[in-house]
Structure 1
Amino acid sequence: MGITAFQALACPLDGDPLLRQGTSWRCAAGHSFDISAQGYTHLLPVQQKRSRDPGDSKEMVAARRRYLNAGFYRPIAALVSRAVLVGLPAGRAAACLDAGCGEGYYLRELAAAAGETHDLALLGLDISKWAVLAAAKQDKRPCWVVGSNANLPALPASLDRVLCMFGFPVYAEFARVLRPGGELLQVDAGPDHLRELREIIYPQLKPERPAEASVPAGFEALPGESLTYTLELAGAAVIADLLTMTPHLYRASAEGRAKAAALTALSLTVDVRLTRWRRAAAGGGEA
């Protein structure tokens, strides 16, 4: 089987199962969602949007695609892929969602790591249509959808793994779509992540907020991991791509952005934390 598209989609309007009929997905109530020529489906109803064009812009997506495809975050992808592939169910394809998939880099790396030894049914979701379009163009095998973590268009208990990479976790939704025993893998920036860049663009760094210690309702804590390494960026273009793909571009002052634009080389610390949660069995671990 190898890599296949996740099929257990739910209607974003009423939660009923969606069935594929030709080039569209339909639910029993008659709601229909077209599959685009590029291969993705828009499952974000207008009433669930907070703006006309939510999520990352076309420019941010293009910068992230160039930066990630250059391999700078491949160690992060390798860490996550190893964690995803441990203990997968036998005898069927394991279903995995990247909730906030961007342009699909981490799912592509996961598919490569799975090789011929693991069967995976993949779902990539992002609120940015530009991100999902870029993802669909690069790999046709997963199911790509425009959607929101606040209302995941997946059926209850249909997923074995959920990834949340530098994203916005909605734990109640993650718990709903994960099977008992399924795992949530969350990657967040550590205290030293991109510190050298932040020291250049901000007058002073904000004190680090303490990490969340509480276990989300419906989950059990699993051992996490940390990853720290150094990057050497050469050339103004790649530094500009890194800044463009992060929220720092919009948080920095004009002076800070000008300082970053003047850089032609930068030594950077990558510091991330992988937190793992297991979906509790029914009747256990609920708050």
Structure 2
Amino acid sequence: MATTAFTALACPLDGAPLAPVDGGWTCPAGHRYDQAAQGYVNLLPVQHKRSRDPGDSKEMVAARRRFLEAGHYRPIAELAARAALTELPPDAACLDAGCGEGYYLRQLAAAAGATGKSPALLGLDISKWAVQAAAKAQRGTATWVVGSNARLPVLPATLDRVLCLFGFPVYPEFARALKPGGQLIMIDAGPDHLRELREIIYPTLKPPRSGEAPLPEGFAAAPGDSLCQTLTLNDAASIADLLAMTPHLYRATPEGRARAAALQTLTLTVDVRLSRFLRI
């Protein structure tokens, strides 16, 4: 699982290039960012935070890690990796914008290694708990940073791929960081994704959104892909982890959460859409 060091980090305060120094990173103006003991660096200045502890909680991260490491969403990881590796240049740099605990980026690294490629990988998330878990799980896979999609700590026009998987895209920042011809790869829930769980926890389901989203400025559309299959969870713990790792935990009614907690098995629809956009 060989990867190349990621060298295109930018100072979150002034946008200047960051250079590695003993125990951290620094820019020409002297702003220094120390590497944590777990192997990540925090590039989210306090003035850029909207709350004291933004992003997923420690509990959500732990639930997602258990669920994903059990392999339940491995087909989604394979879908993302295939798209990212198609026509990937030899010296490519890739960002997972909203990397969570790092599962999808680790799967990408493994798939790249199997094809003899060694891209420079950057995993970024606004949750320090997520990045901490990612770095602890596989320090050598990627460079792991706490940061925001709203202000990517990445130099302009340095990325070949940006992945945004079930995340919060900030298209102007993605366009700024991608090279011309680079690709933005997004995976979002399809209309039937986890329908069976949603039918249990909500009184009624919202109708799916109609129409296509407008094309982001600075991008051209490229062929996408999709995945639709069933998944059976055979224990209450896995069902609880799935609910805990999604926003549905907080949106569901107390009665809906109680119904989900009583389940011992659940067969679900996994329905996702992969979109690709070329930086022009």
Fold-level similarity (TM above 0.5)? yes
Give 1:45 shift: 0.6
Correspondence for 1:110 among 87, 108, 111: 108
Secondary structure of residue in 1 paired with 2:80: helix
Instruction: Report the aligned-residue RMSD.
Output: 1.0
Matched, 1:232 2:235: no
Corresponding residue number in structure 2 for 1:139: 138
Cα deviation, 1:12-62, whole Å, max 9, x if unaligned, reads: 011010111111111111111001111100000101101100000000000
Work out the CA distance in 2 between the residues paired with 1:65 and 1:229. 21
User: 2:190 corresponds to which residue?
Assistant: 190
Question: Secondary structure in 2 aligned to 1:243?
Answer: helix
**SS in structure 2 at match of 1:3:** coil
Q: Does the residue aligned with 1:112 lie in a helix, a strand or coil?
A: helix
Tell me the CA shift for residue 218 of structure 1: 0.7
Please state how far the C-alpha of 1:210 moved relative to its aligned partner: 2.4
Structure 1 segment 157-172 matched on structure 2, within 5 A: 157-172=157-172
2:96 alignment counterpart: 98
Query: Matched residue pairs, number?
Result: 278
Deviation (angstroms), 1:211:
4.9
- What amino acid is aligned across from residue 92 of structure 2 in structure 1? A
Q: Provide the rounded CA distance (Å) in 2 between the counterparts of 1:212 and 1:68.
A: 29
SS in structure 2 at match of 1:4: coil
Moved segments of 4+, more than 2 Å: 210-213
CA distance in 1, matches of 2:96, 2:246: 18
Indicate how the Cα distance of structure 1 residues 140 and 223 shifts in structure 2: closer, same or farther if over 3 A, else same.
same
Q: Give the whole-Å Cα distance in 2 for the aligned partners of 1:260 and 1:111.
A: 35
Q: Which residue of 1 aligns with 2:122?
A: 123
Output the TM-score relative to the length of structure 1.
0.95
Query: Does the Cα contact within 8 Å between 2:53 and 2:127 map onto a contact in 1?
Result: yes
- In 1, the alpha carbon distance for the partners of 2:49 and 2:237 equals 33
Q: Which runs of 5+ in 2 are unaligned?
A: none
What's the counterpart of residue 53 of structure 1?
Answer: 53
Q: Distance in 1 between matches of 2:5 and 2:66?
A: 25
Cα distance change of structure 1 residues 140 and 191 upon mapping to structure 2, 3 Å threshold: same
Q: Distance in 2 between matches of 1:221 and 1:50?
A: 32
The offset of 1:4, in angstroms, is: 2.5
Aligned to 1:244: 244
- Counterparts of 2:274 and 2:171, CA distance in 1: 16
Aligned with 1:186: secondary structure?
A: strand
Query: Does the aligned pair in 1 maintain the 2:109–2:118 contact within 8 Å?
Result: no
Task: Give 1:68's aligned amino acid.
Answer: L
C-alpha contact 2:157 2:176 (8 A) present in aligned 1: yes
1: CA distance between counterparts of 2:92 and 2:189?
Answer: 27
Letter of the 2:110 counterpart:
A
Whole-angstrom CA distance in 1 between matches of 2:126 and 2:242: 20
Quote the sequence identity (%): 71
- Superposed displacement of residue 2, structure 1: 2.8
Partner of 1:40: 40
